[in-house]
Structure 1
Amino acid sequence: MSKAKPAAENTRAEAARILARVIGDGQSLTAVLDRQPDNKGDRGGDEGRDTALLRELCYGVMRHVFSLSALTERLLSKSLKAKDSDVRCLIMVGLYQLIHLRVPDHAAINETVAATKGLQKPWARGLVNALLRRYQRESKHLLQAVSASPESRYEHPGWLLERLQADWPQDWQTIVAANNARAPMSLRVNVARGQREDYLDELKAAAIEAAPIPACAEGLQLLAPLAVEALPGFAEGRVSVQDGAAQLAAALLEPQPGQRILDACAAPGGKTGHILERVAAQGGEAELVALDNDERRMGRVAETLDRLELSAELRVADAADVAAWGEGEVFDRILLDAPCSATGVIRRHPDIKWLRRDTDIEALVRTQAGLLDALWPLLRPGGRLVYATCSVLKAENVGQMLAFLSRQPAARERVIEAEWGQAQTVGRQILPGEADRDGFYYAVLEKQA
């Protein structure tokens, strides 16, 4: 017996429940969506459209969460109870459709109002209907009032706006605009299994439009996103999804056959796979140890490597606790893709704007410094460590590197000569949206003999 397809209003109700977990409970949007049954955009017919709509509503509301939240507060005569946070989120879902989607106003209102039944809160039907219709009547005045707040105007928290203005006085508005835009879908061709140009021809034959990513030897960017199952050779490991900025890590590491390589903080395994692909393309193998302190996330690394038909030694451990996992070990290459604020990938994870706090940054900087100090002794003299973050905050990036170099007399910067990003006192910074890449920072350090 086939499962009944959910009505459109039920999709809106589910979006409201998911958003309540993110906005109200502080859960990750990606994590909540990953737990949804049948969470794939490749399904045909109504089921595929419902999944696409669910993701559009969830990501769209989080992209505009500050203005939508402020509008909702203005429309409500009194705050809703905490247990009714899903109703508040449903109102935001309705407002998002009215302001940012091409859904006809009458359909957006009617189906959002009907979604109160899906929430099992029929008492809210009249409230949701009244508030959305009031927005229709007073939209110009309401939007003008809300835009007076910088948080609502730029869709970023005040603390992050202040940090961006301090770190990037000439670029902060460009960064904010890029953060609020939709991210493209980029691919990495497995050059151990074929050339990028040949794969590009395959895409053209399948009527999939793509173009090479500049300064990324294996990178392609799709004109429009699509389900990975529709990509030729994805299941066989001939191509992976990875942003162009993230693809630079393996190139900077320059892995060679026969080397011992450490990929610290490896999950979900994109860079792990890329390193091994590069070694395999040279006709050899490397001994790669991949670390992550989360067993579930390490499972994703295993799945990635299985699909690519590559192997590494996977260890579930805290990279900073060397005594527990790596006492006496030595590596020729170390990639430290450090835990960070993720302020460079907000366009892919808009809930970061809502969930991250200013107080998180100091703690992250301490964690990054601890990882650098713990892993540096494991690097062989003459070896190379690549430090990477998907952050645009200088405290985590160039500031972190300057402090580390002052503590480690044997560490020397290998200057990155490249056309991408902006040169910093140490390393290079890619700002969100530059050449349509995510925001990333890289520094290359070598240990003197």
Structure 2
Amino acid sequence: MKVLIIGSGGREHAIAWKIAQSSLVEEIFVSPGNGGTAKEAKCQNIDLKGIDEYVTFVKENKIDVTVIGPEAPLVEGIVDEFKKNNLKIFGPSKTAANLEGSKIYAKEFMKRHNIRTAEYEIFYEVERALEYIKNATYPCVIKADGLAQGKGVVICNSFEEAKDTLEKFMVEDIFKGSGKRIVIEEFLEGVEASILSITDGKTIIPFISAKDHKRIFDKDMGPNTGGMGVVAPNPYVTEDILEDFRKNIMIPTIDGIKKDGLDYCGIIFFGIMITKRGAYLLEYNVRMGDPETQAVLPLMKSDFFEIIFKAIDGKLEDVEIEWEKGFACNIVAASKGYPGEIEKGFEIRIGDVENKVFIAGAKLEGENLITTGGRVLSVTAIGETLEKARAKAYADMKKIYFEGMQFRGDI
């Protein structure tokens, strides 16, 4: 079969690498891809822009399945357009993608279907929000309603911080419309966990859990990033927590999808907080996480493409996913200045590494990889224990160099 993967990050490199292992797949196109997908087996990059170009390319090249990496095309309605043209695509409809595209839609969905989540209030006018934060309990969490490239959630420790955040979101409009409407939530104390899952709209199967490291510096210091590294499975996700998650979050979610008649075939990413009171749902993502994908997929023994194909055909009920024993550790190397203004255009030197390197923000110029983005690459290693996986990943990271390279030492 021929596959089109849409996206350009480390997540898409990992998806392409995993799908390329399937005996069912002959050829993979990645749009626009990166320097890693350009060199991956069975893969070639192709530069397509906009839903119409994707539809035309898929028809003309007889592509069997399209897999979406990032959230933006899903929120824009790419799945609806493909289905109008009778083309197979893996991802939720435009309405279902609102579970990530609108925090307000997601919170109201959670409330409607009794999914355990933080208490919240919704605001459409800055005046009402300012009045509310005068008497709020701190810390509190302010969330932009729409997509904000991972920067639309702020934990505010004081009235001043909350007021400043509201000004930026609702008045200065730093997210160009996405922060004009907001959610203010109670702050939940605990440990975060990422649980990716796959659904055909009737059945939902959770993947192995993961733990992301959001902040740029060791000991969770510095500003939030898109993610600086992941371990999987998450050591804090015990069998009891998993059972609590299934009962109070996962099963009510798939029941809600059915009750609301949502057209949802794709990935559901549950961002949860493990508290003393149990697991709480923080947010949904409607696609694979980055860099969670780079840690979770290397642990998957099953044929990922075969599972995707069964989901599209509505036949997940009999699927059982097999996983490698042990742990994965993924460490991200970022450009100098990230997550702020970055320096780029530097050659990447990769020595004799023993484990998988996933490329994110880098392009291929001749035979050389050149940095183009904030998060440049990551290394994933698997070990019998988390300590062994970490040691292997850090040993490889020492064999990689580009000017201004930074990475955490405590993933």
TM-score (norm 1): 0.22
TM-score (norm 2): 0.23
The structure whose residues are more often strand, as a share, is 2
Which structure would you say has the larger RCO, counting Cα contacts within 8 Å and 6 or more residues apart?
Answer: 2
Q: Which has the larger radius of gyration?
A: 1
The structure whose residues are more often helix, as a share, is 1
